[in-house]
Structure 1
Amino acid sequence: MTATVNELKRLFGPFEGDRDNLPPFDEIYPGKQAPIFRRREGGGLALEMATWGFPGPVAAKGRPVTNVRNLSSPFWRSALERPDRRCIVPVSRFCEWTGEVGKKRKVWFGMTEAHDPLFAFAGLWRPGAKDAADGPFMAFLTCEANGIVGAIHPKAMPVILRPTQAAQWLDGGREDACALAIPFADADMRLID
């Protein structure tokens, strides 16, 4: 996520948590901080930093959960029901890994030149423990891969939101919000060298 604060404002509108600027996040890995937008009480957007990866359930031995794959899972159900636990994760590109173990390489994806290079993933967030210095945490939704991403990573792709869909994700009922969990249009995406 390499967009500036002014680029974020241009695409997503005004928000609280304004800063002079954000550092570029050339690569964001699980367990690392990333910017997110979420609704504040009263309806405005707030820009915050969140750690990528929800603390995992006991069944997963506490390993962080980075992607929301099964929207009907009890682990995600309460967050999906609550618009105040939804967020958008601004992104300027993302990668999937390909190749054999030991020879893996990153393949980067972004928007075509006809579109703004900045977009967002549909995400969920949660606060950290009251007595802990860490948190909040976030994870983003995934869905079936489109043709471009599927050629590299057939299992899934992030749920990509157009700026006009941000309000539906952040404010809609569960059914309306989850209806956005579909593959993004191939015609609007490209591989980035």
Structure 2
Amino acid sequence: MCNLYSMTATVDEIRRVFGSFEGDRTNMPAFGDIYPAKPAPVLRTEGATLKLEVMEWGFPGPAAAKGRPVTNVRNLASPFWRSALEKPERRCIVPVSRFCEWTAEPDPETKRKRKVWFGLHEHDEPLFAFAGIWRPGDERSYFAFLTCEPNQSVGAVHPKAMPVMLRPADVPTWLSSERVTACELAVPFSDAEMRRIET
């Protein structure tokens, strides 16, 4: 599962890719390493308006999760996610510059698993989005994002799943369609449009 990503685009870049929105944060900082339970920017709809907000990554976990935040949505039929998926107003998109998967085996020298980053090709728009859902809380709002079967690029590192990545043209479908149509976007992203980012 993905438990690390970054979002380093400016507010102007987010607007250019995903359209105009309310909640303009001209001084929003870059979010270099975003881990579960950390804040991150999210775009959601309120009526016909797109709004930019900062939410905490991970729904408060059920007892079965021993209190850990639930960050990834894999089973779209699960009752835990069904109510949010049914309501377009509870769906969101999570702007992303790149995301990380960890190698299955530790590095022979460091004895630690290595980070492998993925993003779009340099000649493409570097900013994309995860398909997410959100929920309000007493003091803050929370979000999680969908995962699906991995493509070959991600599967070579993490064979179980990858985040559901959206192109800008997919965003209206995700944010406004009925559940079945929206969930049809939960498919592996094209290998041809991705690159492995060596750091």
Counterpart Cα distance in 1 of 2:67 and 2:81 = 15
Among 21, 25, 28, the alignment partner of 1:19 is 25
- State the SS of the aligned residue for 1:16: coil
Give the equivalent residue in structure 2 for 1:10. 16
Question: Residue 61 of structure 1: CA displacement?
Answer: 2.6
2:190 corresponds to 1:176: no
Give the equivalent residue in structure 2 for 1:121. 130
Q: Structure 1 vs Structure 2: percent identity of aligned residues?
A: 65
Pairing of 1:21-36 with structure 2 (within 5 A): 21-36=27-42
RMSD of equivalent CA atoms: 1.1
Question: Residue 103 of structure 1: CA displacement?
Answer: 1.1
How many pairs align?
188
2:112 corresponds to 1:103: yes
Q: TM-score, normalised by structure 1?
A: 0.95
Runs of 4+ with deviation above 6 angstroms? none
2:97 corresponds to 1:78: no
Counterpart Cα distance in 2 of 1:19 and 1:62 = 32
- State the SS of the aligned residue for 2:31: coil
Unaligned runs of 5+ in 2: 1-6
Q: TM-score, normalised by structure 2?
A: 0.92
Bigger Cα displacement from structure 2, 135-144 vs 101-110: 101-110
Pairing of 1:133-172 with structure 2 (within 5 A): 133=139, 135-172=140-177
Question: Residue 96 of structure 1: CA displacement?
Answer: 0.4
